[in-house]
Every structure is written in structure tokens, then in C-alpha cells.
Structure 1
């Protein structure tokens, strides 16, 4: 099975100079866990990183004063708005994104993408073709289309990024 068969298509992207608020609200509105981060340069923007829910949560955690359990991105946004409303507008996506970007081809096998996730310690891999982001692959995508992925991940050398113990 190839990545093109399981990837989520048409990844959403944001510019690295956008405020975190813009990107986080986009993720909430689109019901997605990440956005591809781009930088303007030349004829078209190029990919420089990825912003995930985890990156936004880490930003929120850096500014928390209590041990309250963190939950969904929407709730985090609500807390940030009320406790430090300017933080979301002051911090740019480029300051908190994960970089470098981990990419694979649509022709990459599912086994190979599992290995890349494990080797790089990431949960989101951007699928590129002709220098364009054409999709995103996550452990959820892999498990939905490749139910034996948990066992495959273990056989390849570990649990993998949030593969679970199911």
C-alpha cells in the first residue's frame, strides 16, 4: 500500500509570519491537527515547517501558572484568549513551528512512512510531489487504512508515535 492511498489531501498552509491565533483558529475551523508553514520567496512560497496542535499546546504550557490538565485546541484557545489575549497575536507561527519538515513521496510505502515517523519522532509527515505539498499522513491515517499498523510498527522497531497499545 502506498502513501497516496491513505493521505489526507490538500493540506492547509499558513505563512510563517502569521500570528499563532490565525493558524490555531484555522485548525479548529477546519478540524485538522496541523498546518504546513510556508515562507515567501521567489515565484511562490516554499515549505519551511509544520505547526501542530502540540506546538500550540506547548506555547500555552509555557505561559500557564497552574497544573490544570490541558485538553483540546479549542479549549486552549479559549484559555489563552482569557488569560493572555495578546500572546496569540504576538507570537508568530515561525517562532513555534516544528522544523525541519519531514516529507515523503506519494509513492512511498506505508511501511516506509511508519519507519520515517519512528526515526524522526513525528506524527505528521507532509506528502510532496513536484515541490508541492499534496497531502499529510498521520498515525490515524495509517491505522484507518492499515489496521495491522500497530503490529507493523512494533515489528519495525518500536511503538511508533502514538500508535497506542490496542
Structure 2
């Protein structure tokens, strides 16, 4: 089975905002673009991420005001992957860090994002025998 690379399945639709942006402005941008996360930047360099889950756990449940700066709730340091890494490597990073969204970085710039949904989509393509091979490989790795 040939390897699938991150740059083959990543989404290039990534929202980035400066760390001083308000929670409300970030949420409005995410809603407008119908995306589940935003990459936070400082001086145009990625420094963190805020996901829909962060809005539930760190904003709504704590009753933070919507004018709060996004940097106060971002997850940092930002965990990333390079575009020529394999999807398998992306899955391993996601598992290790218990994350669902993994920004793709090249030359210190965000060029895309790969999510668990992207991985599920490609896993469901192809014949049943290919899917069994993928599942077998995953199960073998989990036993190690």
C-alpha cells in the first residue's frame, strides 16, 4: 500500500488571527467560514490554536467575556506537522497529544490543516480489503 501524505489531504482553508483578537471576533470569523478552529499568530508567526472545544471548555463554561483576547484561551505551544509527512505520522502525533486538528507548517507559515475527519474520510475510501489492511496496521500499532 502506498503512503498518503499530509499535503494530499490537508485543507488549505485555515483561518489565522492575531493574538489580540477578541473571542467574539474569532468566533464570528469561524462561523462565517464554517470552520472548527483558528490558528493564533504573533507578528504573523503561528503561536497557538483555538478550537470549538476550547470555546466550550475555556470560554462558555468559565463565563469569560467575549471581549477577552484570544491569546488567553489558546492552546500553546502549537503542535504542527510538515506537508511531506505521512498521514500515519499525523495520526501518531494526534494520538500522542490527544488533539483532533493539526496545522501544517512550511517555512514557519501555516499552509493547511489536517483533522481527524480528514483521516477518517481517506480511510473509508477504497475496497474493503484496503480498509482491513489499514485497520490491521492501526491495531498492531496500538498493541505495541
Q: TM-score range by the shorter chain?
A: 0.7 to 0.9
Q: How many equivalent residue pairs?
A: 131
Supply the distance in 1 between the matched residues of 2:50 and 2:30 (Cα, whole angstroms): 10
- Retained in 2: the 8 A contact 1:115–1:156? no
Give the corresponding residue for 1:114: 91
Give the corresponding residue for 2:51: 52
Supply the distance in 1 between the matched residues of 2:15 and 2:140 (Cα, whole angstroms): 33
Q: Give TM-score scaled by structure 1 length.
A: 0.73
5+ unaligned residues in a row in structure 1: which ranges? 64-83, 159-166
Kindly state the Cα deviation for residue 57 of structure 1 after the two structures are TM-superposed.
1.0
Q: Give TM-score scaled by structure 2 length.
A: 0.84
| 1:132/1:61 CA distance change after superposition, 3 Å | same
Kindly state the Cα deviation for residue 129 of structure 1 after the two structures are TM-superposed.
1.0
Q: Secondary structure at the match of 2:47?
A: strand
Give the corresponding residue for 1:74: none
- Retained in 2: the 8 A contact 1:115–1:153? no
For 1:5-84, what aligned pairs fall within 5 Å after superposition?
5-40=8-43, 45-58=44-57, 59-63=59-63
